Amino acid sequence: MPSETDAVKAYFDAWNSHDTDAILSSLTPDGTYSDPVGGENLSGQAYADYASSLFTAFPDLKLELISNTVASNGIVAAPWLLFGTHKGPVGDYAPTNREVILPGCDFITVENGKVKKVIGYFDPEYLFNQLK
């Protein structure tokens, strides 16, 4: 069975390959995702649609883990930087072609070698200020 950090690596690799099927495959069947912009407890197609909207908005989106992940009792803290060029709509923001960098951290619950729950923390205002 994959370790907690292996499960998290597979999850981030899926994001960085812009593969929504792989993102969903990295999750348990009841896996959920929450963040300050996308909403709470997205799962299945709703989560895939949210990821796709980010790939449209930032076609070169990359998530870079910025330090070692920390795992304890099935929960992994994974601090990251998001890099991307704003080429598609984000909410009320039309494309600006601006490059953005967004720091954040995901707290990821792993169960049986798969991601069960992701709670993403970042400052939406910091992101949106870069789109003005």
Give me the tens of pLDDT residue by residue for the chain, a chain 132 residues long.
668 889 999 999 999 999 999 999 999 999 999 999 999 999 999 999 999 999 999 999 999 999 878 888 889 999 999 999 999 999 889 999 999 999 999 999 999 999 999 999 999 999 999 999
C-alpha distances in Å from residue 65, one per residue of 56, 81, 104, 112:
22, 7, 10, 23
96 in the Ramachandran plot: left (φ > 0), alpha (ψ -120 to 50) or beta? alpha
Q: Which pLDDT score, from 0 to 100, does residue 2 have?
A: 67
86 in the Ramachandran plot: left (φ > 0), alpha (ψ -120 to 50) or beta? beta
**109 alpha-carbon distance from chain centroid:** 14
pTM of the model: 0.94
> Does an H or E element contain 48, and which?
helix 44-57
